[in-house]
């Protein structure tokens, strides 16, 4: 199993070009919007992102056995604090990094609620890297460049109300960090 220090070095190295853990996006996103995509839910139903048009959405690839899994509780804090103002938090469980999501799709939400109090949306287990990555993740990497793709669990994309990616945050950035709070509040308006 990889050590947290090695993972942090990998993640930090991957974001060297960015030189920050929060990146505001100004790339041309003329090749569509996040609202064109849909994720699969654990019960097999679809979760089309266009149902969240007009609302900011935080999409985070998660893993229950990751050293950063305490961020699941931080995502719940964001959900509790901002869902009434329109924020949608979506966890996308993935086993792509270090095989750290051993649970079945149908078990993950129950585990996260029991251990961390998580009650936000959680998709079925999904690939987020490589040629078989979910189309949302391939689109994000094509739109923003390779520095913005997930290099580990808990990579975060903030989608604006119009479906554009307005910021991304690397793995070590805690969900309740001032950078994420500021970016979310800017999308919520007054």
> Using N-to-C axis directions, what is the helix angle for 71-82 and 105-116, rounded to 10°?
80
| Angstrom distance (rounded) from CA 125 to CA 96 | 10
Cβ-contact 50, 162 below 8 angstroms: no
- Residue environment code for 145-155, b if the CB has 16+ CB neighbours within 10 A, otherwise e: eeebbbbbbbb
Least Cα distance to 151 among 167, 133, 129, 132 occurs for: 129
* Per annotation, catalytic residue among 66, 75, 90, 118: 66
Whether 66 is a known active-site residue: answer yes
- Catalytically active residues are 66
């Amino acid at each position: 199993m990889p050590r947290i220090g090695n993972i942090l070095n990998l993640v930090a190295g991957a974001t060297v070009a960015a030189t920050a853990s929060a990146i505001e996006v100004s790339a041309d996103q003329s090749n569509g919007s996040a609202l064109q995509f849909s994720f699969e839910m654990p019960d097999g139903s679809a979760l089309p992102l266009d149902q969240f048009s007009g609302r900011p959405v935080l999409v985070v690839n998660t893993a229950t056995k990751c050293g950063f899994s305490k961020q699941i509780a931080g995502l719940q804090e964001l959900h509790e604090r901002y869902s009434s103002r329109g924020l949608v938090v979506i966890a996308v469980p993935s086993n792509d990094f270090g095989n750290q999501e051993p649970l079945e799709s149908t078990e993950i939400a129950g585990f996260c609620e029991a251990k961390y109090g998580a009650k936000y949306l959680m998709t079925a287990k999904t690939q987020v890297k490589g040629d078989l990555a979910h189309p949302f993740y391939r689109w994000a990497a094509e739109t923003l460049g390779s520095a913005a793709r997930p290099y580990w669990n808990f990579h975060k994309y903030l989608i604006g109300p119009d479906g554009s990616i307005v910021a991304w945050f690397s793995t070590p950035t805690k969900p309740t960090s001032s950078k994420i709070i500021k970016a979310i509040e800017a999308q919520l308006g007054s």
